[in-house]
Amino acid sequence: MSRHRRGVPLASGKPQGKLRRVQVSLYDSTIALPRPCSLCSSGPAERRRRTDRQVPWRPIAERSVGKMKRREIEALREQVSCAAVLEHAGFAVDAKESTRRAVKFRRGGEIVIVTYEGRGWFDPLSDAKGDVFRLVEHLDRVGFLEGAERVAALVGFQITEPEWQPAKHGERCDLSLPDRWQSRHRPSPGSATWRYLNGKRRLPAFLLRTAIKGDLLREGPQGSMWAAHQDQAGALTGWEARGPQYRGFASGGTKVLFRIGSDSAMRLAVTEAAIDAMSLAAIEGLRQGTLYLSTGGGWSPTTEAALRKLAAKARVQLVAATDANPQGDMFAARLRTLADDAGCDWTRLRPPQEDWNETLKIRGKEKRESMEGGGVPHARRPRQGRLRPA
């Protein structure tokens, strides 16, 4: 029959295509069905086969293994915490910089913060984050399968870092932020909070009185301190909570900025914690024309918006007074970018120690040793402007 005539061509004597034998036991039966010809198929058969072809053509063995792996993965995710992986890898908890909800681990210059009760993590120095499997991949530079085997090897591993205790019954209440703030006393000489700030943290009395007069401090539970965060209008948005055994932020609050100093100041010294902001203010003697700020250890959109609004003023100098570590350098870089966007001056003021409170305490120790050695201390505030930008 001519190939140009209409109709169904006869099959030639040559083999048509290559047929391969499949093992039906490993595959769905639907893939063994012949594909119907559009010219000779009857209506019902064609519709039936088209319905059959809607079933995904996936190997049965592959699906079974996949389900098993998913069950194992979920079980490992529940049994092995990110804290166990980090401790096994040589990381240690930085209790000073940790909260119950965000535990900071350090290994040399590396930092990993564990969240979601040990089920999640993120690297504040990069964009890396994820679950326990991604953590092993991130630390050991391995693929998922090898990482899963290493996670499985940690089942039953007991971490030695102290567990954070949940809030006691009755500590939480339904009061608003302003009401909760007003319900706490202001620190006073001799109180537990005053002893913590003035004794352990070495913040001078004149600085504490200035902060208390500005309604920036309250006494928290168990001798802790509350340091107010405020928006541009001066409204309370939350507070940093810090004590001998606790660090956190007000539940239901929003991080904006802790501020001490003149609102009309042209020099903006940005730190990572309220205690560091007050420590730098004490070292500089509450330098005139300086507003000391704290981001509360984060970089939230509300904090960035507040900093941009302050930096938009004419003749403003933005001072990156963040910690002397990789995280502090990262915040300083962000502040420099913000200053470039706003068109204001920028400088880096790096603390001689890791942070400004450590610097303040060491200076106080040196002063006391000088007094014990027969030196005469100056009975006045420290001179202003003695720190030089790094």
pLDDT tens, residue by residue, 115-170: 888 889 998 878 888 999 999 999 998 888 888 888 888 887 666 654 444 444 44
Confidence of residue 251 (pLDDT cuts 50, 70, 90): confident
Q: Does 227 reside within a domain?
A: yes
Tens digit of each residue's pLDDT (9 = 90 or more) over 310-365: 999 999 999 999 999 988 999 999 999 999 999 999 999 999 999 999 999 999 88
- Please give the mean pLDDT across all residues of the chain: 79
CA distance 318 to 311: 7
Helix H or strand E segment including 88: helix 82-88
Q: Does 194 reside within a domain?
A: yes
Whether residues 251 and 301 share a domain: the answer is yes
Q: Does 170 reside within a domain?
A: no
Whether residues 242 and 112 share a domain: the answer is no
Q: Does 196 reside within a domain?
A: yes
Tens digit of each residue's pLDDT (9 = 90 or more) over 195-222: 999 999 999 999 999 999 999 999 998 8
Last residue of a domain, one of 130, 152, 174: 152
Q: How far is CA 262 from the centre of its chain?
A: 30
The whole-number average pLDDT for the span 82-95 is: 88
Comparing CA positions, the residue from 286, 278, 347 lying closest to residue 319 is 347
Q: Which three-class secondary structure state does DSSP give residue 246? A: strand
Q: Does 17 reside within a domain?
A: no
Confidence of residue 75 (pLDDT cuts 50, 70, 90): confident
Whether residues 141 and 194 share a domain: the answer is no
Of the chain, the percentage scoring pLDDT greater than 90 comes to 45
- Residue 75 and residue 129 in contact, taking contact as beta carbons nearer than 8 Å: no
Tokens of 369: 């040793």
Whether residues 111 and 198 share a domain: the answer is no
Domain that holds residue 327: 185-372
How many residues are present in the chain? 390
CA distance 111 to 94: 10
Whether residues 74 and 203 share a domain: the answer is no
Q: Is the pLDDT of residue 48 over 90?
A: no
Query: Domain of 94: which CATH number?
Result: 3.90.580.10
Q: Does 387 reside within a domain?
A: no
Whether residues 313 and 361 share a domain: the answer is yes
pLDDT at 67: 40
Whether residues 107 and 216 share a domain: the answer is no
Q: Does 57 reside within a domain?
A: no
C-alpha separations of 225 from 82, 185, 197, 213, 242 in Å: 30, 11, 8, 15, 5
Q: Which three-class secondary structure state does DSSP give residue 248? A: strand
C-alpha separations of 43 from 39, 316, 338 in Å: 11, 80, 69
The whole-number average pLDDT for the span 28-42 is: 45
Tens digit of each residue's pLDDT (9 = 90 or more) over 358-377: 999 999 888 888 777 665 55
Query: Domain of 285: which CATH number?
Result: 3.40.50.140
CA distance 177 to 184: 11
Q: Does 175 reside within a domain?
A: no
- Residue 157 and residue 84 in contact, taking contact as beta carbons nearer than 8 Å: yes
Last residue of a domain, one of 152, 176, 198: 152
Structurally, the chain folds into a number of domains equal to: 2
Q: Is the pLDDT of residue 6 over 90?
A: no
